[in-house]
């Protein structure tokens, strides 16, 4: 009996003996101030020591960035910090995390790009170095790097880096190892961050091979009766999904309402189940970029990547075609308008929930600004937003409001115009 209890406790500690496809949390920090915009996403794995290291890295990077932000106000271009993540497991216990940082500021001659990796074994409770997982033939790897990056590589730096193997940044999958180098580490900045992947079968560690099973989902919008007479608004949620999204959907359902969720591509896979729940309850999904970079500052290729990567990932995981785009920070330019073939949706009621973070204050602001035909901006990543909805929804319900998705609002506006012209 004691053994069973102990096993159960170990299972609980390791999170997920029962449910291996459990969603981990993605922490999102999105801020917009006078001189700086910040978009940060990183995983909360539930492994204390690992999460602490990740948060420490984020904290230090943010501190470096804050020093770069110019003090004088009203500059044309704000400074931007963007940190994005990749997180995957090999077997049940090898956690691979890559954090990619991008900093741009008027104080810098060139934007800064930086990569950081963590590989953690949650069975042995330790961070791994490359020599823990494989015996490598260093000269073959060096030759490979020299061949691939011959135009930008610094040979002396390459030698120096491989003389201290413990410091190498790496990740692995069941059949390949990837090495990561920051600009100037082994090559000039013209090659950017170097990601060098090579196939590998001779791992030192036992790797349990498991196929990931993903559930597919067919989208069937719920057919609702929409009235063109009732005052109508569209509620929209940006920057999610998050652990609050499901609660928000349940609350919406309680008042027979629907909303549009503008999601970030880098969260879709992890919140697959949440997004299925969103769709199954008649809500709409829109695109809010891949990792919240400001779209108007990107090259055309980067811009397309931010948009298409999100559309594709939603299509692949949910079998859903996204039609709507909400640009990050509401920023639009001609490149965006002329090259992205999607309907751009902004807002005309800003609840400032990301800033106010107090349910009552958010609700008061929203309720005083809401009028028929408005598109309301909120964020499903804050508990205070969920709290505000608990005040807003019953009040609007009492006032006879109909709360719909963006596409439904457009449909109602079309029907109203047709009725007027008849
Ligand atoms: Zn946003």
For 153-181, write each residue's pLDDT tens digit. Answer: 999 999 999 988 889 999 999 889 999 99
pLDDT > 70 fraction of the chain, expressed in percent and rounded: 89
Measure 123 CA to ligand 1 centroid, in angstroms. Answer: 37
Whether the Cβ atoms of residue 193 and residue 183 lie closer than 8 Å to each other: yes
Measure 265 CA to ligand 1 centroid, in angstroms. Answer: 12
Measure 33 CA to ligand 1 centroid, in angstroms. Answer: 13
pLDDT tens-digit readout, 215-254: 334 334 444 578 889 999 999 999 999 999 999 999 999 9
Whether the Cβ atoms of residue 111 and residue 124 lie closer than 8 Å to each other: no
Question: pLDDT tier at 113 (50, 70, 90 boundaries)?
Answer: very high
Which residues are identified as catalytic?
A: 238, 379
Looking at residue 378, what is its pLDDT?
Answer: 98
Nearest to 26 by CA among 265, 213, 259: 265
Measure 109 CA to ligand 1 centroid, in angstroms. Answer: 27
Whether the Cβ atoms of residue 89 and residue 21 lie closer than 8 Å to each other: no
**pTM given for the model:** 0.76
Q: What is the CA radius of gyration of the chain?
A: 24
Measure 329 CA to ligand 1 centroid, in angstroms. Answer: 6
Which helix H or strand E contains 81, and what residues bound it? strand 79-90
State yes or no: cis peptide before 164, omega within 30 of 0.
no
Which helix H or strand E contains 85, and what residues bound it? strand 79-90
Count of C-beta atoms within a 10 Å radius of residue 305: 16
Which helix H or strand E contains 301, and what residues bound it? helix 300-318
């Amino acid at each position: 009996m004691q053994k069973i209890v102990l096993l159960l406790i170990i299972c609980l500690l390791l999170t997920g003996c029962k449910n291996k496809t459990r969603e981990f949390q993605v922490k999102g920090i999105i801020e917009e101030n006078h001189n700086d915009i910040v978009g940060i996403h990183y995983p909360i794995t539930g492994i204390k020591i690992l999460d602490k290291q990740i948060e420490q890295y984020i904290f230090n990077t943010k501190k470096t960035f804050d020093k770069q932000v110019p003090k004088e106000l009203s500059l044309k271009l704000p400074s931007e910090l963007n940190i994005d993540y990749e997180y995957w497991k090999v077997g049940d216990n090898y956690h691979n995390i890559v954090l990619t940082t991008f900093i741009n500021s008027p104080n810098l001659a060139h934007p800064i790009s930086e990569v950081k990796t963590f590989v953690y074994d949650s069975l042995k409770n330790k961070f791994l170095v490359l020599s823990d997982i494989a015996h490598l033939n260093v000269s073959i790897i060096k030759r490979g790097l020299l061949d691939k990056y011959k135009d930008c590589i610094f040979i002396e730096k390459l030698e120096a880096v491989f003389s201290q193997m413990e410091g190498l940044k790496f990740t692995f999958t069941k059949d390949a190892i990837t090495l990561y180098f920051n600009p100037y580490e082994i090559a000039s900045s013209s090659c950017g961050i170097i990601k060098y992947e090579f196939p590998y079968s001779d791992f030192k560690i036992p790797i349990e091979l498991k196929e990931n099973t993903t559930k597919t989902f067919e989208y069937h919008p719920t057919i609702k009766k929409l009235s063109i007479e009732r005052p109508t608004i569209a509620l929209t949620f940006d920057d999610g999904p998050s652990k609050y999204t499901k609660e928000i959907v349940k609350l919406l359902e309680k008042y027979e309402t629907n909303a549009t969720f503008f999601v970030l591509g880098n969260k879709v896979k992890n919140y697959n189940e949440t997004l299925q729940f969103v769709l199954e309850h008649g809500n709409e999904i829109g695109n809010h970029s891949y990792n919240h970079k400001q779209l108007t500052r990107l090259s055309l290729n980067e811009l397309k990547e931010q948009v298409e990567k999100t559309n594709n990932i939603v299509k692949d995981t949910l079998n859903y075609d996204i039609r709507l785009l909400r640009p990050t920070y509401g920023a639009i330019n001609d490149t965006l308008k002329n090259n992205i073939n999607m309907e751009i949706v902004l807002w005309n009621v800003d609840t400032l929930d990301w800033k106010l973070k107090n349910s009552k204050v958010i609700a008061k602001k929203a309720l005083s600004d809401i009028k028929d035909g408005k598109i309301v901006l909120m964020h499903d990543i804050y508990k205070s937003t969920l709290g505000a909805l608990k005040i807003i929804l019953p009040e609007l319900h009492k006032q006879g409001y109909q709360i719909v998705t963006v596409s439904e609002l457009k449909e109602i506006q079309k029907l109203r115009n047709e009725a007027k012209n008849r």
